[in-house]
Amino acid sequence: MANEQAQLWNGAAGCAWVDAQESIDRMFKPVEDLLIDAVAARSPRTLLDIGCGTGATTVAAARRLGATAACTGVDISATMIAAARARAQRERLPVDFIVADAETHRFEAASIDAVISRFGVMFFADPVRAFANLRSAAAGRATLQCVAWRSPDQNPFMTAAERAAAPLLPALPARTPDGPGQFAFADDRRVLAILQQAGWSDIALQPIDVPCVLPEPDLLTYLTRFGPVGRALDEIADTDTRRRVIEVVCAAFEPYVHGPEVRFTAACWMITARADANGRPV
């Protein structure tokens, strides 16, 4: 499963994120702001951003925390990490980026004051092992602060494309609730159990509903390159089928289009936890 994720994010999915990073970062800026505000209030000296992608949240943390904090981003996608490094260089920020699987990477023990993630922790093959690994990297009293999606039912914008395209794409893969993927952390009880087994303490999941905006001209790129439908369209050679899929999917998004903007609500969990000095993975 880890190899599947590496192939996905070093292939078409990673390229799509790099090509659309400006639009995607703008869309999820309200989520980023909530995350960075929360972590900045604790003034960590070392910060690790999990599944950092093209580096928006890592760079935002470095910008907010200033020279007193060492910020590092880690992602399985070399494609996206290259874009993240370029971003940090443009802003002249001393941010480190690592191409690695955070589930297995050997981080320096007890070296991190804050672990953060914006939609980057739902893709682990073995989430307990991953969070235990991050727990080992966390210093005493370190904090974990992650944003993850709630259920597909609560995020109709995120599932509109596949629901509309399903009659035309019968081979479209079904989402597996507990497997790696966008909604892997939908069940708060499952997330609580994962973090408890991994040795984290003071675990809390707060539901947050975040208004997000996508420029209307960027909608076509979004729905044809992202998610299960975007990946399926990459493999469709029949131009007529491709055209019909795009037509029905575009129609499904019409309720979200308001003039020059596409508006939706991201139904998420704000997940927090602490590395108790006495805590150990079980």
Q: What is the pLDDT of residue 175?
A: 83
Domain boundaries, the chain: 2-152+175-213+264-274
The sign of the dihedral angle between the CA atoms of 67, 81, 271, 114 is negative
Q: What is the pLDDT of residue 282?
A: 45
Q: What is the pLDDT of residue 257?
A: 97
The domain covering 2-152+175-213+264-274 belongs, at the CATH homologous superfamily level, to: Vaccinia Virus protein VP39 (3.40.50.150)
Whether 97 contacts 81, CB under 8 Å:
yes
Query: By three-state DSSP, how is residue 225 classified?
Result: helix
* pLDDT tens over the chain, length 282 residues: 557 777 877 877 788 889 999 999 999 999 999 999 999 999 999 999 999 999 999 999 999 999 889 999 999 999 999 999 999 999 999 999 999 999 999 999 999 999 999 999 999 999 999 999 999 999 999 999 999 999 999 999 999 999 999 999 988 888 888 889 999 999 999 999 999 999 999 999 999 999 999 999 999 999 998 989 988 888 876 889 889 999 999 999 999 999 999 999 999 999 999 998 665 554
Whether 49 contacts 16, CB under 8 Å:
no
Q: Which residue has the tokens 């090509």?
A: 19
How much is the pTM?
0.94
Q: What is the pLDDT of residue 279?
A: 53
Q: What is the pLDDT of residue 179?
A: 87
Q: Alpha-carbon distance 118 to 154, whole Å?
A: 18
Query: How many Å separate Cα 14 from the centre of its chain?
Result: 12
What would the two tokens of residue 148 be?
Answer: 């993850």
Q: What is the pLDDT of residue 85?
A: 97
Query: By three-state DSSP, how is residue 121 classified?
Result: coil
The DSSP call for residue 275 is: -
Q: Alpha-carbon distance 84 to 258, whole Å?
A: 31
67 CB-contact burial (10 Å; exposed 0-12 / middle 13-18 / buried 19+): exposed
Q: What is the pLDDT of residue 1?
A: 52
Q: What is the pLDDT of residue 153?
A: 95
Q: Which of 155, 148, 145 is nearest to 44 (CA)?
A: 145
